[in-house]
Structures are given as C-alpha cells and as structure tokens.
Amino acid sequence: MAGKVNELQTGSEGTSLNEMLRRASQLVSLSRSYIGQAVNLITVYTSFELGRYIVEEEQQGSSRAGYGKRVIEALSESLTNEYGRGFSKTNLGYMRQFYLAYREREPEMRQFRIGELAETSKEGIPQFEIGESGHLLEQAHRPFRLSWTHYLTLMRIEDHTERDFYEREAIENNWDAKTLRRQYGSSLYERLLLSRDKDDVMRLAKESATPQKPQDLLKTPFVLEFAGLQDRASYHESDLEQAVLDHLQEFLLEMGKGFLFEKRQKRFGFADRDYFLDMVLYNRFLRCYVLVDFKADLLSHEDLGQMQMYVNYYDRYERMPDENPTIGILLCKRSDQALVELTLPKDAHIYAREYKLYLPDKQLLQKKLAEWLEEEEGK
C-alpha cells in the first residue's frame, strides 16, 4: 500500500493527494476523539440513571434488611443476560453510590431525559455540538464533565466541599484519572488549606486553586513520593534533585498551577566563589521567577542567606520591568519557621517548606486541619 501511495505522489496531482491524505487522517483522528468523548459522557449519565433506579426501587420497596441487595442482584442478572459484561453487582453498587453522592444534580440531569429514552421518542436524546476548542459539548450545561473512571474516585470522598474541589481541579487542569488519584492520595486539599489563612481557606474551598499571590504556591508539606527515595535511607541533595528531574512532570504538578521549567544548576559567581541554584522555574499566573533549592537536612541560616542572594540577583539582573518580584522556595527535610522569621525581612518572598518522600497520613492532616479551623474560629 505504501508503494501505491508513493507511486501516486508525483507532480501537482501528488501534492493534491498528499493534502487529501492529510485531511483524511485528521478527520478520522478527530472523529474517534469525538466518539470517545460521547461514550464517556453517556457512560457517566447512564450510571447516574441506573443508580437512581436502584435507590428509588429501594425506597418504595420492602423495608426489610437485604432488599437493596436483592434489587442489585436482580438488575445485574437481567442486564448481564441482555447486554453482557459491565453490569456486575459490584459495578451496580458503584452506580448506586455515584447517584447518592451527586443526587443534588438530578434537576440538571432531567433536561437530558436519558432515563426516559425507553419510554419516549428520539427527542429525548441529548444533542451535541462541537465547540471551538475541539471538545464535544451539549447544547445545555453539562452536569458531569469527567469520565466514569474519575467519578469512581470522586464519589468515595465524603466531604462535599472536598469532593467539589477535586472535581473542579481535575476539569480545569485536565487531570487524567491516575493524576486525580495521586492528588487525592497526597491529600492536596488538606495541604493547601493548612498553608493558607482563614480568608484564603474559604476562597479556595469555593474557587479555583489558581495562584493569585506568592503564598498560594505553598503547601504543607510538599509530597515527593514519586522521587522513589526511601525516607530513612541516606541520600544527598544531589540525589533528590536528580530524582525530581527524572520525574519533572510530576514535580511541576506537585508545585502547582502555571509552572514552567527553565534551568537546573544555575551558576552564580561572587568574590571568586561559585554557587549553584538547584532549579529555576517560572510561574505564568504570578508572572515571576520561582527559585527552588533542595535541602536534605535541617534548614540553616546560611541556606536562607544564600537563597536571599539568589533572589536579589534575579530581581536585579533577570526580572523584566513588567514582571513581579522573584520568589524563593527552600524545600527541606526539616524546617524552622522561627529561624526563617528571625533571619529574613518581613517583606521577603522567601519561604521554607518541608517535603515528604511518602504519602502523608490523610486522617492526621484532617485532624490538624479541623484543629486549625477551630482555633481560627475562636479568635
């Protein structure tokens, strides 16, 4: 077949054929993308409706214990006999749980009338159009915008505000299901809240986590479990830096929104001495450089002074007039906030934050967060 194509690709006719082949390839690729989006969409909506059927049957059926289990068993047997795989008792249980987690969106779902397709005409089928971004969109607002795999994680989150936060971030940042699981497993929500003041806590709970000021870049702690280093093993700062560079995409995701990588081991020369800054990043939302240095042990005042020097250099020689002041972040195994406050001026955009090489204990962070919020409310 390749020989046939090459044989035809000669002269002006060959140019025309090449263009036709290119357009044909784009068409097939785009069509498959739209089909995939439609399948994901219908899968989520069908799961919601099946979950609703189960819950409504339970509510109007027998009140005896075990009736809900028998409803799922009967539905599983019926759908599996007629349609094959995908309707196991476990999957139907997930659909029931999905509906219970998001039942407040039922009014929005009614405009699609997916649950009435068996009793109505084709007018009940949702209508789609292609948006400028190339995504498949409904004419009406979509109640669910992620895949079923995403919602298998989200519906397990009991706290409504936390669940909405992860759903919003997954949509805005185009997280795949694996990334969503990682962010939830690393307790991103709790770590961000613990890093903010009371007003920012409310803003973050209701709005996007897009940084608006330097403090919005901080987490408590940063989690670098993807680096693959054992927490108790002996390792050097260079080992940590290399491990982060080997997983740069995961590291930028952990740092937050809008980060771009510029340089590693930035060299500074002063008074016949060479200094090397571990990493230079840029944040497009804050429009400023972000300098990162890794410390494998307890933070020292020398580390803070050195970072101050790096920040001063970038502010004086690298920063453009329309850019914001440079930010310095020291990622250390152990920090000392009192030392930071004593060493640096109050207006310095330099921050020390601890990192962990393992996923944090979510229950412990939730407890700390509850205690912190209680203290804030008591002030």
Report yes or no on whether pTM surpasses 0.85.
no
Reported as a single tens digit per residue, the pLDDT across 336-352 is: 878 888 888 888 899 99
Q: Tally helices (H) and strands (E) across the chain.
A: 15, 8
Reported as a single tens digit per residue, the pLDDT across 63-95 is: 555 667 788 888 888 888 888 888 899 999 999
Reported as a single tens digit per residue, the pLDDT across 241-267 is: 999 999 999 999 999 999 999 999 999
Cα 185 to Cα 205: distance, rounded to the nearest angstrom: 18
The backbone torsions φ and ψ at residue 184, rounded to the nearest 5 degrees and listed phi first, read -70, -40
Q: Which residue has the tokens 């080997």?
A: 246
Query: What pLDDT score does 4 carry?
Result: 53
Q: Which of 3-12, 184-193, 203-212, 344-353 has the lowest mean pLDDT?
A: 3-12
Q: Which residues of 154-173 are buried (b: 16+ CB within 10 A; e: fewer)?
A: bbebeeeebbebbbebbeeb
| 200, two tokens | 């920012």
Averaged over 36-58, what is the pLDDT?
Answer: 83
Q: Which residue has the tokens 């803070």?
A: 304
The more confidently predicted of residues 286 and 209 is: 286
- H or E element that contains 137: strand 136-138
**Any idea where the domains of the chain sit in the sequence?**
2-150, 157-207+363-379, 222-359
Residue 171: closest CA among 140, 135, 225:
135
The more confidently predicted of residues 27 and 276 is: 276
Under 8 Å between Cβ of 360 and 191: yes
User: Percent of the chain beyond pLDDT 70?
Assistant: 80
Cα 127 to Cα 115: distance, rounded to the nearest angstrom: 15
Query: What pLDDT score does 281 carry?
Result: 97
Under 8 Å between Cβ of 214 and 286: yes
Query: Mean pLDDT for the chain?
Result: 82
The three-class DSSP label of residue 310 is helix
**Topology (CATH) of 222-359:** Trna Endonuclease; Chain: A, domain 1 (3.40.1350)
